[in-house]
Chains A and B, each alone.
Chain A
Amino acid sequence: MRRKSGLVLLALAVFFAALSPLLRWYAFPRLAKVPASQYQDMVLEAKDATLLDYDSFKAKKVSKVTIVQTLKGNVEASEAIERTAGRDVVVWDGLSYVQGPDGKMVSKIPERYIFDAHSQEPVHATGETVDGDPVKREGIEFKWPFLVEKRDYEYFDAQARVTAPIHYKGTRDFRGVSVYYFEQTIPWTKVPFPKSMPVKGITPEDVAATGTTRWYTTVRKFWVEPVTGAPVYGEEIHQEELRGGTLLGGREKVTAFAGHVKMREDYIRSTVDLVKSQRTLVLLMTSYLPWGFLSLGVLLLALALYLEARGRRPADPAPTKTSAPEPVTA
């Protein structure tokens, strides 16, 4: 019976010990992925910003410019691409809607971002666009891969449609979460006018015909939780100018937008809470369960060996039988 228990414990020990590396290096890379159906919205604000007044065509100070960003996973589109790509793909339809202090639309830029659900590497397929223009992204956008490394990454800038390095600048604490801080600077770059202009009846082609061009620079900052690869906070020091052409009435340039864009406080809190819970799930697969299973395996093996050793120990000598003296015949 003891021998049988020892064998069962040995089988369990091997089971748990094998499960530990299998979970970390086989199951985790295959199971950890961005869900194709994710829906997420974000509100960012630039207080005391500068905004172009399209009536006077002069830059003016405004109390606040709000950016509402929506990301919506398109499951049907991702499944269609998966059939040919042969891997798990996520299709995010995004919209950056910029609103002035009066509630009127300043710009809206839709985009479609297609990427590998596990590695977050871009996947090139028909429909990959920014504001209706086909693009071929290199590098990441919005989210870092799981288990972020302390190094620079390539990050796609949707305004300029270029990929540039986003530099790792150190580990910091953000509201109790250990994060990696990244920063990217996009120098002054000529960018296309948004397809949706804030003034009705004016198209980007009309503006371009006047010879006026749109220029943009930004310093992008991200505080990224390294286990999930999810940014918990982001800021942008964003500037846009219109330069040259007849539209500016002889002026060389005019500021179209300038502001320090930051996430709204309630969205920071909800993002931090969400990332904290996701972090626990990822750690369960990369750390807690593998180490727990390995420890359990070692413990069970020790118990199995102990039972085996006890089973093999020579049994105590049997009590000697004292036979009653036989009657002696005289």
Chain B
Amino acid sequence: MRALIAAAAGLAVAFALVLTITAVGAPTGTTSPKPMLTTVPSHP
């Protein structure tokens, strides 16, 4: 019974971690202030 509880706890933490990470997601950021280029850049 105690083994079953330990396994369930491990499973629950794994689900909680993955769900939290995916819910938070990556930050969106902001639009770059760099212009649309109309000259040839000398380097990348």
Contacts and interface: CB of A to CB of B under 8 A. Distances in A.
Nearest to A37: B29
Nearest to B22: A30
A191 B36 CA distance: 24
B44 A23 contact: no
Interface residues of B, number: 32
B7 A10 contact: yes
Interface string B1-35: 01100111111011101100110011011111011
A76 B31 contact: yes
B26 A37 contact: no
Given A15-B13, A73-B31, A110 B6 contact: no
B10 A31 contact: no
Q: How large is the interface on A (under 10, 10 to 19, 20 to 34, 35 or more residues)?
A: 35 or more
A15 B10 contact: yes
Interface stretch (A91-99, A154-162, A225-233, A234-242): A91-99
Contacts of A168: none
Interface of A: 7-8, 10-16, 18-19, 22-23, 26-27, 30-31, 33, 35-37, 39, 41, 43, 66, 68, 70, 72-76, 78-79, 93, 95, 97, 99, 105, 108, 110, 266-267, 269-271, 308
Given A15-B14, A18-B14, A41-B44, 6 more contacts: A13-B10, A26-B18, A66-B40, A70-B35, A70-B37, A266-B44
30 contacts: A8-B6, A10-B7, A10-B10, A11-B6, A11-B13, A14-B6, A14-B9, A14-B11, A15-B13, A15-B14, A22-B15, A26-B18, A27-B18, A27-B21, A31-B22, A33-B26, A37-B29, A37-B30, A39-B34, A68-B38, A70-B36, A73-B32, A75-B31, A78-B28, A79-B28, A97-B36, A99-B40, A105-B38, A270-B44, A308-B3
